[in-house]
A and B are shown apart, each in its own frame.
Chain A
């Protein structure tokens, strides 16, 4: 009897109380979420198509690795190098990040900032998926330090077929023919070459091609690697500078090109609104166009950089990269296997297919490309006996900066000889230290 009464009292008291508790927990005052393991991923902000491919890969990785969360940050191209050096300096390296291989990657290897991926790459022969030349770019002393993910890209001259047709021009095979075309275009009020050279690497393509066409790849190789008594004040470098200035003086480039910004799309805009006829740029240009101005895509024609009469270089030589973005895993990463898996997602079959659709050439073997323009680019890559890697990415940062600054100065009217000497001086100082 008393027990029953007690139970009743307890019930009456406890039920409202418990419901109060229930509300509290429902109101989310004490909710805790299970913390997911994080992998930070940096990527270089490309065009939207590429951004989407990367985001999609990340999403697929997260779906199959539920306990992981990828913190993905996209950084504009020009800010990227700077951001990365800040990260190194503050010891806040992202777990997975791209480099352009070359000197930057070598520097990270030398400070032990990245993981040796050789073992992981050799699991089930994963490495054989990739173009050998691309793997070569991230191979240092026989070890693999990065995975080529983005575009194989070479610099070529893309032009507006309509303008060429209207002016009855044909694709030039020699520098002289090119200069003739420039003249005609100029006379007809067109800007012959679109160029936005604020950051220097765009204009540098002309310079590199002239060096290659004049002296072949050995000239740069010798100068950069300080062998065979090579140097940057070599006659070939001076001559290349003079040829650049020849074009500048002909008015081949738009007004104020030296402070136009490539990333902002200043140069491409000139093509899209058909005030400029040509552009010397990397083949990523095709995917840019596809995204930015699809109707312009139909008007594009492409030809390799013309031969310089009397030059030693192979006319099929190209300047470019076999992988563009090479993803490495930072040695500070806590989940190396998962980080590597994330990279694999970035360049798995789905991602490859999407990249091809976006007009890219993934750095893997047996790519099937239907788009005629992209295919043409790919065939040039295949034909090319030597793909000269961009100077600015091949050289150590200090020399890279000097190269870009001096080249830009040449475009701005600096004496090519002085520029070449300056470059040589900086290089000597750099190696003497």
Chain B
């Protein structure tokens, strides 16, 4: 089945004209090239787009997160300068008291705190927790009505493993300003003179908004979603506040490293901030990146379609142009095959190869023509030779003279019959053996055949009689010599002689267009249809075994007049056979 199909396709392909094939091949080649080029550039661009997006996002995240880190570090470092501040130490080492000098100390502490607030614009509040009496100095937005709670500070401060390094508490609902969502850096403060005795805690809080400013995407047309996730995979800071405290569902990237990956159709780029155990994360929907690629895909499709059209058009033009010399060649070939050997071709305009082809073709046709001509000439010569050989078999003069003598002697002795007969015989041979023209006027041929008939009538006095009835107009028609005599002879020997009753031979001529048909009619025994057919066919054969005389006549006529002329046998209404001799009315004398 498969083979059948293959075969079918093969045959189909083979039957397609060369030009169409050429067009197909060209179109396919061009389309393939275009597809390869375009798909290559598509792959390259889309890859570079992705990479670019990744790099850009990473770069932005790196910038953002390093800014953020710097900011947070700077907040941590603010407290460094004041932990050893004298008035701060003094304030923290004594419980509150209503005294003017204490009030001054508190003022100093406030001033320090105020400096902290002033040094960084984005600080929400600063507070100082005193360990002795849990009093708090606070600078920041009003905490009135907010049920502020500093108990967590005490808890942190009285932990056994407390050290001098800042305690970072990531985003959560602020214990002091309940309505805010903040991160706080707690700086434990130790007694300067007694190592390892915490006397207070400085707290600096920053709202989530401030931190969000560092990473939030400023390019609004880019759907880059950035947020901060803590080490447990919980979002701690997000521009969309409703997502805070929800799980980011990005557990697979919790490896405390930077990197990028693709999750749920999103490009996720992340940067780890070690101090806070945070990941600054940027996500970009991949289909946003590929949005442009889809446009490109469409463009490619368009290009391919345009290319196919263009390619088809161009290929058609191309093939037409390329195949013009072939068409010419094919046309000339067909002319040659129809027998026109005079045709010539000139394809030198189409390039060197076609010049060679046309040269070869012309040479070939030329040579065929020469060969053909030679063969025709040779044949003609051969026939002439054959004929002349026949003629030369008899020595004519001797025969004439003898016959002339016989004629006169018979006439003088009163032998009229013999005289007539001999005279006819002499006349017969005069023409037969005359070495003149091979082609003679019908008038002469008439005399010739009449002489012959005279002799034969005398021989078969009781068996036959003959009439010759040819109108004047045909008498100048040229006819090969000895054409009618063999026909008449055939009629007598094969038709009349074997017949019991008396028969006749009649020779007439009719005109048919430019041809004249001489009819030799007998009423002899006749022939069966298949015999006639056989005979007619044999005339065309070169088979020498059958009816040499008749065929020779036929061939000679054809040699002189052409293929359509010659003999044709048919039965006639007298029961005998009619031989039609077709001649041209104005024979080409040159032949």
Report yes or no: A12 in contact with B98, Cβ–Cβ below 8 A. Answer: no
Q: A8-B307, A28-B219 in contact; A259/B139 too (CB < 8 A)?
A: no
Residues 254-268 of A contacting B (Cβ, < 8 Å): 255-256, 258-259, 261, 263-268
Contact with B along A97-139 (1 / 0, CB 8 A): 0000000000000000000000000000000000000000000
> B138 at interface (Cβ–Cβ under 8 A)?
yes
Contact with B along A34-70 (1 / 0, CB 8 A): 0000000000010100000000000000000000000
> B292 at interface (Cβ–Cβ under 8 A)?
yes
> A366 at interface (Cβ–Cβ under 8 A)?
no
On chain A, the residues within 8 Å of B135 by CB distance are 256
> Which of B142, B292, B317 is A264 in contact with, Cβ under 8 Å?
B142
- A267's closest neighbor in chain B, by CB? B144
> B5 at interface (Cβ–Cβ under 8 A)?
no
Report yes or no: B142 in contact with A263, Cβ–Cβ below 8 A. Answer: yes
Which stretch of A15-23, A322-330, A383-391 is in the interface?
A15-23
* Chain B interface mostly: helix
Report yes or no: B114 in contact with A78, Cβ–Cβ below 8 A. Answer: yes
On chain B, the residues within 8 Å of A265 by CB distance are 142-146
Report yes or no: A272 in contact with B110, Cβ–Cβ below 8 A. Answer: no
Q: A198-B110, A256-B96 in contact; A16/B292 too (CB < 8 A)?
A: no
On chain B, the residues within 8 Å of A8 by CB distance are 307, 310-311, 314
Roughly how many angstroms separate A28 CA and B52 CA in the complex, as a whole number?
11
> B514 at interface (Cβ–Cβ under 8 A)?
no
- A265's closest neighbor in chain B, by CB? B144
Report yes or no: B303 in contact with A259, Cβ–Cβ below 8 A. Answer: no
> Which of B34, B118, B292, B314 is A4 in contact with, Cβ under 8 Å?
B314
Residues 151-184 of B contacting A (Cβ, < 8 Å): none
- A293's closest neighbor in chain B, by CB? B145
Contact with B along A236-269 (1 / 0, CB 8 A): 0000000000000000000110110101111111
Q: A23-B45, A256-B98, A413-B100 in contact; A264/B139 too (CB < 8 A)?
A: yes
On chain A, the residues within 8 Å of B292 by CB distance are 22-23, 26
On chain A, the residues within 8 Å of B118 by CB distance are 79, 82
> B13 at interface (Cβ–Cβ under 8 A)?
no
What's the interface size class on A, roughly?
Answer: 35 or more
Report yes or no: A28 in contact with B221, Cβ–Cβ below 8 A. Answer: yes
Residues 409-468 of B contacting A (Cβ, < 8 Å): none
Report yes or no: B143 in contact with A269, Cβ–Cβ below 8 A. Answer: yes
**Most A-side CB within 10 Å, residue of B139, B148, B306:** B139
> B336 at interface (Cβ–Cβ under 8 A)?
no
> A186 at interface (Cβ–Cβ under 8 A)?
no
> A11 at interface (Cβ–Cβ under 8 A)?
yes
Contact with A along B96-133 (1 / 0, CB 8 A): 10101001001100100010011000000000000000
Roughly how many angstroms separate A23 CA and B317 CA in the complex, as a whole number?
37
Report yes or no: A4 in contact with B313, Cβ–Cβ below 8 A. Answer: yes
Report yes or no: B141 in contact with A76, Cβ–Cβ below 8 A. Answer: yes
Roughly how many angstroms separate A413 CA and B104 CA in the complex, as a whole number?
13
Report yes or no: B41 in contact with A16, Cβ–Cβ below 8 A. Answer: yes
- B219's closest neighbor in chain A, by CB? A28
Roughly how many angstroms separate A268 CA and B145 CA in the complex, as a whole number?
8
> A407 at interface (Cβ–Cβ under 8 A)?
no
Q: A16-B37, A259-B106 in contact; A4/B310 too (CB < 8 A)?
A: yes
Report yes or no: B98 in contact with A16, Cβ–Cβ below 8 A. Answer: no
Report yes or no: B53 in contact with A5, Cβ–Cβ below 8 A. Answer: no
**Most A-side CB within 10 Å, residue of B41, B139, B144, B317:** B144
Residues 206-253 of A contacting B (Cβ, < 8 Å): none
> B56 at interface (Cβ–Cβ under 8 A)?
yes
Roughly how many angstroms separate A5 CA and B52 CA in the complex, as a whole number?
35
> A89 at interface (Cβ–Cβ under 8 A)?
no
> B323 at interface (Cβ–Cβ under 8 A)?
no
Report yes or no: A12 in contact with B307, Cβ–Cβ below 8 A. Answer: yes
Report yes or no: B143 in contact with A19, Cβ–Cβ below 8 A. Answer: no
On chain B, the residues within 8 Å of A47 by CB distance are 142
> A414 at interface (Cβ–Cβ under 8 A)?
yes
Write the nearest CB–CB distance from B60 to chain A, whole angstroms: 11
> B360 at interface (Cβ–Cβ under 8 A)?
no
Q: A28-B221, A256-B96 in contact; A45/B141 too (CB < 8 A)?
A: yes
> A288 at interface (Cβ–Cβ under 8 A)?
yes
Residues 194-225 of B contacting A (Cβ, < 8 Å): 219, 221-222
> A292 at interface (Cβ–Cβ under 8 A)?
yes
**Most B-side CB within 10 Å, residue of A259, A261, A288:** A259
Contact with A along B26-47 (1 / 0, CB 8 A): 0000000010011001100100
Q: A8-B307, A27-B56, A198-B110 in contact; A261/B145 too (CB < 8 A)?
A: no
Report yes or no: B103 in contact with A259, Cβ–Cβ below 8 A. Answer: yes
> B9 at interface (Cβ–Cβ under 8 A)?
no
> Which of A1, A12, A26, A269 is B145 in contact with, Cβ under 8 Å?
A269
Report yes or no: B299 in contact with A259, Cβ–Cβ below 8 A. Answer: no
Report yes or no: A19 in contact with B142, Cβ–Cβ below 8 A. Answer: no
Roughly how many angstroms separate A11 CA and B321 CA in the complex, as a whole number?
24
Report yes or no: B314 in contact with A409, Cβ–Cβ below 8 A. Answer: no
Closest 3 pairs (CB-CB, A-B)? A265-B144, A265-B142, A292-B145
**Which A residues lie at the B interface, using CB under 8 A?**
1, 4-5, 8, 11-12, 15-16, 19-20, 22-23, 26-28, 31, 45, 47, 76, 78-79, 82, 198, 255-256, 258-259, 261, 263-269, 272, 288, 292-293, 296, 409, 412-414
Pairs across A and B, CB under 8 Å, 15 listed: A4-B310, A8-B310, A15-B303, A16-B42, A23-B292, A27-B53, A27-B56, A31-B219, A76-B140, A198-B107, A263-B141, A266-B138, A269-B143, A269-B148, A412-B103
